[in-house]
Structure 1
Amino acid sequence: MSALPWLDPDYLWFPPAEEALREPDGLLALGGDLSPERLLHAYRSGIFPWFSDDQPILWWSPDPRCILFPDDIHISRSLRRTLNQGRFRITTDQSFRRVIHLCGSTRPEGTWITDDMEQAYKELHRRGHAHSIEAWNHRDELVGGLYGLAIGRCFFGESMFSLEANASKTVLVHLCGELWRSGYRLMDCQVESPHLLRMGARTIPRRVFLSILEENIDQPPRQDRWRLEWAWHGSRPGEG
């Protein structure tokens, strides 16, 4: 780690993402800060922070990169039944603070969402860059959610949580439907997991990911605001 560049908090700069180490998982740089300007610059460059309380800020750009094209979302039969039953009411940006807190506090294995990270993304939300998608049950309880950044035609997913079966999956399906309808090119999932792969995510070479970013990061989506509520219409993205 000593060979990695240390970032100056007063100088907004990153080394090229292509210089990230292959092992472990594309570690690129250390240090810097979590200012909104640095975070936005990082995401636009294919870089994201990921660290724990006992570490300096660590910046990553994995190769390969896990992504989900919105029209590739996979809906299993059991999930489709949940959607058709209308078990959850889906909203956006109605409870960002609770979503990001629950994303961190409900993981039994621990979390990378430190207090500093939580405050940084709350500020990005206040500035209109970070968004939450929420699932509410019939008792109007928040039982699932996801948060991330929307920049250009790219959505950068950060974390999700689920307190009831299929709640976070329902959120992801609704998010992909809205991204597809609004002309978003991809959802960045950062690092692959079995759950994401079952939902339709795939890995692509970092150079391909960076090329997609370059083509879409400055392109506006078809609508310039997030809908407050969505309804399930019984079809996946691309089916009408």
Structure 2
Amino acid sequence: MANLGGPIEPEPSPWAFADLRDPGAGAHGGAELDDLVGMGADVAPGTLLAAYRHGIFPMPGESPRDPMMWFSPVRRGVLPLDGLVVSRSLRRSVRDFEIRIDTSFDEVVASCADPRRPHGWIDRRIRRAYGRLHELGWAHSVEAWQDGRLAGGLYGVAIGGLFAGESMFHRVRDASKVALVGLVSALREAGSIDQRILDVQWRTDHLASLGVVEVARNDYLDRLEKALRLPLPEAFGGPPAEGS
């Protein structure tokens, strides 16, 4: 379960993160901008949290010897909390699973990192780093269980009104989508759904079919500034929503 006392703020990062707003980009971003905004640094808890608070997230290079790469997409993929597309078949599938939060975080990350998966990117550095964030109450898993077994899930980082999704997996058809439905429900229950951000990094055709849209980097950063001021959802260790 989520840390009922709320997340613990780690030691601050020794690394500085710049404001990435581009005054010349306008509403549609800038063609001259790049998603990759930095290389190096570490993935200590304080560094990761500082990065997310600046709209930046890490991904490892191809080799363990490669420096960490840091991204802030020019066109950011986000899922509006009132825009999730739930098909009739997915609505039926939801009834076949039990949603749990933070009961098997390490297994969810390990399953997302399975080297047999195509386009895998999660290495040992990432697994250790997000494991530390989970211990401090910042990283969370949303899990779909069926017949007492973990069937699928996702994990990400929750800071105030931001949930930054990192990866998802499934062992049973629709299980990862059901976990996403559970995540959206948990975020909606916290209120202020028009100000909260469910960040999925990049829009893909698959994610677009679920309602993911793109926003320009400047727009994302403006929204992020407001979202970070919101209370953490109760499901992730925040206070009960008003009226609950």
Q: Same fold (TM over 0.5)?
A: yes
Structure 1 distance, partners of 2:116, 2:87, is 24
Q: Cα 1:119–1:21, aligned 2, differ >3 Å: closer, same or farther?
A: farther
For the pair 1:211 / 2:222, whether they are aligned, the reply is: yes
Aligned to 1:151: 159
Task: Give yes or no for the alignment of 1:136 onto 2:145.
Answer: yes
Provide the C-alpha distance between the structure 2 equivalents of 1:210 and 1:100, rounded to a whole number of angstroms: 27
Give the drift of 1:226.
Answer: 5.0
- Number of aligned residues: 215
Of the candidates 184, 193, 198, which is equivalent to residue 209 of structure 2? 198
Write the mapping of 1:79-90 to structure 2, written as runs, cut at 5 A: 79-83=90-94, 86-90=95-99
- What corresponds to 1:92 in structure 2? 101
Q: 1:164 aligns with which of 172, 180, 199?
A: 172
SS of 2:234's equivalent in the other structure is: coil
Q: Is the 8 A contact 1:53 1:114 kept in 2?
A: no
Q: Is the 8 A contact 2:73 2:217 kept in 1?
A: yes
RMSD value, Cα? 2.2
The amino acid of 1:188's aligned partner reads: D
User: 1:33 corresponds to which residue?
Assistant: 42
- Offset at 1:213? 0.5
Letter in 1 for 2:178: T
Task: Check whether the contact 1:106–1:161 (CA below 8 A) recurs between aligned residues.
Answer: no
CA distance in 2, matches of 1:15, 1:218: 19
- Answering whether residue 121 of structure 2 is matched by residue 112 of structure 1, we say yes
The C-alpha deviation readout for 1:190-220, integer Å capped at 9, x for no partner, is 1111111111110011111100111121221
> What fraction of aligned residue pairs are identical, expressed as a percent?
39
Which runs of no fewer than 5 residues in structure 1 stay unpaired?
A: 1-9, 228-240
Q: Structure 2-normalised TM-score? A: 0.82
Q: Which residue is 2:197 aligned to?
A: 186
Separation of aligned partners in 1, 2:136 and 2:21: 29
Gaps of 5+ in 2: 1-12, 23-28, 239-244
- Give the corresponding residue for 1:237: none
Partner of 1:102: 111
